[in-house]
Structure 1
Amino acid sequence: MRAVTYSETGPSRVLRLVERDQPAPGPGEVRVRMVRAGVNPTDWKFRATQMNGEYDEVAPGQDGAGVIDAVGPGVAGFAEGDRVWLVLAQYGRWLGTAAEYTVQPVERVVHLPVGASYDLGASLGVPAVTAHRALTAGEDVSRLSPGAMSGMTVLVAGGAGAVGNAAIQLARWAGATVLTTVSSDEKAALAIAAGAHQSVNYRVADAASELRALCPEGVDLVVEVALAQNVGLDVEVLRNRGTIAYYADNGGAEASVPVRGTFAKNLRLQGLLLYTLGADLLEAATIDVNAAAANGAIRVGDEVGMPLHHYPLEELAAAHDAVEAGAVGKVLVDVAEE
């Protein structure tokens, strides 16, 4: 089979197109013929800074979608021919989704809903599961479903990004009012297309005043991509017992938290990382995200503010470079014909 791998850390030029033996599924595993792979910032950051534990070679890619073509012993609920999407495919393993075939434990395999495209399936894992955890990190909602966030207001920082877009769509599906902060009119248009009710440019002189005018009682939860940069704004606009759920260190690796402002409002700061989420939260997220996808409530494409950028497998390095350069939208790799 064809795969793109690296055997040393560094820039995208360390990626190589290679031929490898087709893997066989073991107990509790399935083999997936990949159709589409998703590229996330975590992929290029991991490639650039560290190898993968005991493995001397890594085929990157946490997200993807394809068709099961072999089932290992003891597997229930999956069969050859099932369309599926993957989550955390390369975590703790050498073989991710940048290959014609990958073998995965069933815990990382999810049935792709009828009518859902492989493009959508390859776009769900890291962004949508991260967004789900952020939206359920407060004390009010632990699972997402239609109406679960009715009456709540969510502020999504960076609403034009992949996680931000997923958070907007999932929060809208769950019944929340969604505000978002963006850096330009172009990104505001993308966030509104995703479903945000209102957007505010965080670069204006007093973004906090604009947000308070939109939600005088204070927002319930902030989905935050740049805590170091935005924590002061977040604390100012949150209601009592609100939550900041942060999933990245954009804007700075260390944050100065307003101590009195946070304890006076009984605020919660919840960090989250997909890799250490835990099996229970990961399962809850995939179930809810899949329900939203089946309902048509989470989608990709220009019409929902998530433009798609396709690259062939042999150009994975260019796909990594595009994500590293801040491509607006979702970068996908076409591994095989549908």
Structure 2
Amino acid sequence: MKTIVYSETGDPSVLHLVDRMVTEPGASEVRVRIMVSGVNPTDWKSRRGSQPGESLAFPDVVPNQDGSGLVDAVGAGVSNVAVGDRVWLALAAYQRANSGTAQEYAVVPAERVFLLPAAASFDQGASLGVPAVTAYRALTVAEDGPRRLHPGALDGKIVLVAGGAGAVGHAAIQLARWAGATVITTVSGPVKAALAKAAGVHHVVTYTDSDVAAEIRAIAPDGVDLIVEVAPAQNSDLNLKVIRNRGSIAVYANHGGDLMTLDVRKHFSLNVRYQFLLLYTVGIEVVQQAAAAIHEALVDGALPIGADAGLPLHRFDLAQTADAHALVESGATGKVLIDVSAS
């Protein structure tokens, strides 16, 4: 089978196409014929490491955490999926050398494999894992709930999504709206504003405006209930100005810097909760809970992708995986997908 691997950290040129034997799934494992592989910033960051030429935990690694495909074989004890099922994957490559989705067949723990509804495309399936599960987690950490998303779960809530044109921001807008929230987003300009509107956001604010806080407060006079935050260092002052008493700020990335300064007394007075989240360490139970809600949202048609839905697609062949990684690393807007197998 055709497989992409890298044996040391570095730029996209460390990615190589090789031929390997298809392996059998062990107990509690599933072999998936990968149709589409999704590329996320976490994939190129793992490939880069802290510096070029670092040794890896394994002799080589197959990249990419997200993907979709068809169950090809199952190991002993697997009951959540069966041969022939259409599925999507989350955290496929986490702590595993040969399970990434940049290959024709991936053997993955069954607990990371989820049914893909008939109405959902393989492109959608490959776009879910990191973005949608992260967005779900961010929307379910508030002190005043909800703990699970479903239609009506966020009725009466106001959610602010920082960077609504990104993949996680896009999923957060869609899931929050599906759950009943009023959704505001901040973006850099008209192009990304159009994408956020296509995703279904109710209100768009340009973060370069002279008084962003006043614009948000005009929409949410009592403050926003929850902020899905991509750039906490840059946005900490704004967040304090617009968060309501007992509001929560869910931080999933560090765009703009690793360090931030907080006014302790002002945060005390508002009982603000900061919740940091990293998908790799939230626990498989959280991932599975998210997957169950994402399944419902897919069935309801709440997670469309493509330019018309605010998430442009960029396509590559498996042999072009290095180019796909380079595009994501460049900060391109939209979702980068790799066509692995013919349907």
Q: TM-score, normalised on structure 1?
A: 0.98
Equivalent residue number for residue 131 of structure 1: 135
Give the aligned partner of residue 110 of structure 1: 114
Corresponding residue to 1:57 among 48, 52, 60: 60
3-state DSSP class of the match of 2:159?
Answer: strand
Matches within 5 A, 1:26-105: 26-49=26-49, 54-95=57-98, 96-105=100-109
Q: Is 2:238 the counterpart of 1:225?
A: no
Where does residue 322 of structure 2 map in the other structure? 317
- 1:53, distance to aligned residue in structure 2 (A): 5.6
C-alpha contact (below 8 Å) 1:52/1:92 kept by paired residues: no
Note the C-alpha offset of 1:337: 1.1
Q: In structure 1, how many angstroms separate the alpha carbons of the residues matched to 2:158 and 2:101? A: 36
Q: Of 182, 185, 189, which residue of structure 2 is paired with 1:180?
A: 185
One-letter amino acid of the structure 2 residue matched with residue 255 of structure 1 = M
* Structure 1 residue 85 displacement after superposition: 0.2
> Counterpart of 1:272?
277
Query: Which residue does the alignment assign to 1:249?
Result: 254
Q: Deviation of residue 295 (structure 1)?
A: 1.1
Question: Partners of 1:285 and 1:254 in 2: how far apart?
Answer: 29
| Structure 2 counterpart of 1:71, one-letter code | V
Answer yes or no: is the 8 Å Cα contact 2:9–2:55 preserved in 1.
no
Q: Which residue of 2 aligns with 1:292?
A: 297
| Cα pair 2:130 2:279 within 8 Å, conserved | yes
Any idea what the Cα deviations from partners look like across 1:270-309, whole Å, max 9, x if unmatched?
Answer: 0000000112211111111111111111111112100111
- 1:21-74: per-residue Cα shift (whole Å, max 9, x none)? 111100011100000000000000100016786311001010000001111111
**Contact 1:52-1:93 at 8 Å conserved across structures:** no
**Partner Cα distance (1:189, 1:120) in 2:** 21
The aligned residue for residue 199 of structure 1 is 204
Deviation beyond 3 Å, 4+ runs, structure 1: 50-54
Residues 97-148 of structure 1 deviation map (CA, whole Å, 9 limit, x = unaligned): 0000000111000000111100000000000000000000102210000000
| DSSP-derived class of the 2:108 partner | strand
Sequence identity percentage: 56
Conserved in 2, the CA contact under 8 Å of 1:52 and 1:94?
no
